Copies of this chain bind each other. A is one copy, B any other.
Amino acid sequence: MDQRPADIEGLIALMARLPGLGPRSARRAVLHLLRKRVQVMEPLAQTMQQVAERARECRVCGNIGTDDLCAICADPARSSDQICVVEDLSDLWAMERAGGFKGRYHVLGGTLSAIDAIGPDDLRIPHLVARIADEAVQEVILALNVTVEGQTTAHYIAEALAPSGVGISALAQGVPMGGELDYLDDGTISAALAARRRL
């Protein structure tokens, strides 16, 4: 039915695989690219090609950058006393957006999952244990998602690191900024109550 060249069809199909884009919005995006070939499509294609060629996991922390050692691990201003353990690159980015953390990271690459048969060796957990043994780390901050998988993984890591004697902490749980009690789930309210602080 369609008279679009195969290349353009292929581009739409690939764009439709991005999160937040479906077949319709991928088509709109490709139309935009075709209309703005010089201003948008060429720079985008070129930049994506560069990133595709150069992107790699940092050999120390698993962060994705364009060098063998990521910008955070390579930055002498970042303290090596603290390691913040996150599930995924997106969580690392979120921590960096929030600011305030001046240490380094360790990206696990997921969570333990019995259903998906993901064990400690499928994540970067052995790597983390080795890192604690090698580097002069004072504190490991577990910044895992507050989900069953995230918390199971945090528990597992805390046990795995216990012999090393390193300090282990986790992000506080409680009422989020702007949170209205009436809209919060019971679990959050219970956790905030249990962790209440004296004023």
Identify the A interface with B (CB < 8 A): 1-5, 7-8, 10-11, 14-15, 17-21, 25, 27-29, 31-35, 37, 40-52, 54-55, 64-67, 70-72, 75, 88-90, 93, 96-97, 99
Contacts and interface: CB of A to CB of B under 8 A. Distances in A.
A51 B7 contact: yes
A11 B49 contact: no
A21 to B, nearest CB: 7
Contacts of A42: 52
A66 B27 CA distance: 17
A51 B11 contact: yes
A44 B48 contact: yes
B37 A29 contact: no
Interface residue SS majority, chain A:
helix
A65 B5 contact: yes
A90 B31 contact: yes
The 7 closest A-B pairs by CB, nearest first: A45-B48, A45-B49, A5-B66, A20-B25, A18-B29, A14-B44, A3-B71
A126 to B, nearest CB: 21
10 contacts: A3-B72, A4-B71, A7-B47, A17-B40, A18-B40, A19-B29, A31-B93, A35-B89, A41-B52, A45-B51
